[in-house]
Copies of this chain bind each other. A is one copy, B any other.
Amino acid sequence: MRATVIHAPGDIRVEDVPEPEIIKPTDAIIRTVVTCVCGSDLWAYRGLEPVDEPHPMGHEYVGIVEEVGSEVTSVKPGQFVIGSFATSDNTCPNCLAGYPSNCVHREFMGTCQAEYVRIPNAQGTLVATAEHPADELLPSLLTLSDVMGTGWYAAKAAEVRPGSTAVVVGDGAVGLCGVIAAKELGAERIIAMSRHENRQKLALEFGATDIVTARGDEGIARVKELTDGVGADSVLECVGTPEAMQQALHSTRPGGNVGFVGVPHGVAIDGQELFFSHVGLRGGPAPVRAYLPDLIGRVLDGRINPGKVFDLTLPLEQVAEGYRAMDERRAIKTLLKP
């Protein structure tokens, strides 16, 4: 089959590789319907994470079940399924506590930019829809595999509540999905920090009430002007850099909350500064699986349309251009058709 392999920073190729097979009785094999490129894939592409040897890429997927292992009874061949980028058994103490992305049997997906994918922990990971969804819903359903669920978690971790004020740091696909989540969870004011006109437009369409283009101290000052001088109730940190984390922590009111979902690179938090800020902080790989039933419903109802974050669609064969366009910020997010 055809699959994406990274050989070195900047060197993404589509190659012939063996089709995946059932290895454990808890596995399933799916045929990928659509997949995509994630902002976090760019860490390796940009050389900010080491690429020690060539390896497959991709962790977002929707597909048709081809085959299931002997212990998988919850889905069956032919069904359309969505799953999380982090697999989970859905029965361990962490899954039951609402954190399937910290399942004791978790395996992170990493081979999804391909025609077929092996899904470990398939029983707990995959959610089937009642029927094969219409083509126009596929992009939105695909976002539930990661970015929309991650934006949702950012908003939940930041404790967005009805009537609250939220700031979203980062205007990538996750940040834009964070705007949707803040809106759905009832935020009254949603301040999107963005410097890119097309992303600002999408943020406003998704529910942002204010756009702040300034960054650093100026950006913080602007947020405070908009929030009684004290900062926002909830801040969604959707980048993962030290600058973004500082932006987030200093934009939050005492007693407010930061939800951080950008994988931190070089981020260290000073204990005393955090202490005196009174800001609550929670992050991590989003427990996407826990949100799937709810979010699938919202997509099928037409209530949310996170698929709009895809502004470039390419055949899988052109995945390299998909990475390049995102790296150069010509695209917010690239959808790939195997």
Chain A residues within 8 Å of B, Cβ to Cβ: 93-94, 97-99, 101-102, 104, 157, 228-230, 242, 245, 253-255, 257, 260, 263-272, 274-285, 287
Please pick, from B102, B242, B268, the residue contacting A255 in the complex, using a CB distance under 8 A: B102
Nearest neighbor of A277 in chain B, beta-carbon distance: B284
Q: Tell me if A230 and B275 are in contact (CB < 8 A).
A: no
Please pick, from B230, B257, B265, B275, the residue contacting A94 in the complex, using a CB distance under 8 A: B230
Report the bound CA distance from A284 to B289 in whole Å: 33
A245, A257, A272: residue with the most chain B Cβ atoms closer than 10 Å? A272
User: Do most interface residues of chain A lie in helix, strand or loop, or is the interface mixed?
Assistant: mixed
Q: Tell me if B245 and A271 are in contact (CB < 8 A).
A: yes
Please pick, from B102, B230, B268, the residue contacting A278 in the complex, using a CB distance under 8 A: B102
Nearest neighbor of A159 in chain B, beta-carbon distance: B280
Report the bound CA distance from A255 to B156 in whole Å: 12
Minimum distance in angstroms from A124 CB to a CB of chain B: 15
Q: Tell me if B264 and A269 are in contact (CB < 8 A).
A: no
- Given A94-B255, A280-B282, 15 further pairs, Cβ under 8 A: A93-B229, A93-B230, A94-B253, A97-B230, A102-B254, A104-B229, A242-B271, A254-B284, A263-B272, A263-B275, A267-B270, A269-B271, A276-B285, A277-B284, A278-B283
Report the bound CA distance from A267 to B274 in whole Å: 10
Return chain B residues, CB-CB under 8 Å to A99: 254-255, 278
Please pick, from B242, B268, B280, the residue contacting A281 in the complex, using a CB distance under 8 A: B280
Report the bound CA distance from A282 to B101 in whole Å: 22
Report the bound CA distance from A230 to B98 in whole Å: 13
Q: Tell me if B284 and A253 are in contact (CB < 8 A).
A: no
24 A–B pairs (Cβ distance < 8 Å), ordered by A: A93-B228, A93-B229, A93-B253, A94-B230, A97-B230, A97-B253, A97-B255, A98-B255, A99-B278, A102-B254, A104-B230, A254-B284, A264-B274, A267-B270, A268-B270, A269-B270, A269-B271, A274-B281, A275-B285, A277-B284, A278-B282, A278-B284, A280-B281, A280-B282
Known contacts A93-B229, A269-B269, A280-B157; A275/B260 CB under 8 A: yes
Return chain B residues, CB-CB under 8 Å to A264: 271-272, 274-275
Report the bound CA distance from A245 to B228 in whole Å: 33
Q: Tell me if A268 and B269 are in contact (CB < 8 A).
A: yes
Report the bound CA distance from A270 to B260 in whole Å: 13
Nearest neighbor of A261 in chain B, beta-carbon distance: B275
Minimum distance in angstroms from A225 CB to a CB of chain B: 14
Report the bound CA distance from A254 to B157 in whole Å: 13
A253, A255, A271, A282: residue with the most chain B Cβ atoms closer than 10 Å? A271
Report the bound CA distance from A279 to B283 in whole Å: 7
Return chain B residues, CB-CB under 8 Å to A242: 271
Nearest neighbor of A229 in chain B, beta-carbon distance: B93
Please pick, from B94, B269, B277, the residue contacting A274 in the complex, using a CB distance under 8 A: B269
Report the bound CA distance from A94 to B267 in whole Å: 27
Return chain B residues, CB-CB under 8 Å to A263: 272, 275
